[in-house]
Amino acid sequence: MVRIAVIDYGMGNLHSACKGLEKAGANPQVTDQPHQIAEADGFVLPGVGAFDPAMEQLRSRNLEQSVKDAIASGKPFLGICVGFQMLFDSSEEGKLAGLGVIPGKVKKFVSEPGITIPHMGWNQLALTKPDHLLWENLELDPYLYFVHSYYAEPADPKVCAATVTHGSQTVTAAIAKDNLMAVQFHPEKSSTGGLQILANFVSFVERQKN
């Protein structure tokens, strides 16, 4: 059974993420200890809340370098929601620098008639990398659960693995680059489809370990 470090910086939806990973056959370990993170077979960076407090918490626990080292290790890494946004250079939600692992910026949805902000509820993905391992055994253009007022805009559109449309705005919903994957939606809250995505990630961790 693979060991997946669920990185605890005080703001993640840790319980739900762990339950989903357990159902997928993994052994998740909630930790803020650099040595435990380094020894894991794969990594999940969850997130709930605002960008600046999340970055503050990550840095106050001296976890920034651990996250960067985990990604650089080549082992599978999955960011979720704010854990997705933190990978970028900066966010319009705050003033602090992000991790800068993926060049780009997090921007706020533009208000328009008939559109609610935050973008909250079930919405349909458009898969821009339909053959990516995250989407294995999913129906085409699945519905997942979103809660966010800001969206990430990568500098290189080639890293985009899926988009979502809210009103007239089509934005990045997932990225994938080598061992790094991240999603704006909450797979742990997205019923069968979300659990399948977590199971696909766990399967990738198992293949990489073996």
Asked about 132 being catalytic, the answer comes back as: no
Whose tokens are 């008939």? That residue is: 114
* Annotated active-site residue in 81, 119, 160, 166: 81
DSSP classification of residue 89: S
The structural architecture, per CATH, of the domain 3-209 is 3-Layer(aba) Sandwich (3.40)
Structure tokens at 83: 């854990």
In this predicted structure, the answer to whether residue 56 has a pLDDT above a threshold of 90 is: yes
pLDDT digits (tens, 9 = 90+) for 33-52: 999 999 999 999 998 889 99
CA 191 centroid distance within chain: 17
pLDDT score recorded for residue 139: 87
pLDDT digits (tens, 9 = 90+) for 89-130: 999 999 999 999 999 999 999 999 988 999 999 999 999 999
Asked about 160 being catalytic, the answer comes back as: no
Structure tokens at 130: 């339909």
The mean per-residue pLDDT over the stretch 181-185 comes to: 98
Asked about 186 being catalytic, the answer comes back as: yes
DSSP classification of residue 100: -
DSSP classification of residue 62: T
pLDDT score recorded for residue 54: 96
The mean per-residue pLDDT over the stretch 140-145 comes to: 93
In this predicted structure, the answer to whether residue 137 has a pLDDT above a threshold of 80 is: yes
* Annotated active-site residue in 119, 148, 166, 186: 186
Instruction: Judge if pTM exceeds 0.85.
Output: yes
Q: Is the dihedral of CA 46, 51, 55, 10 positive or negative?
A: negative
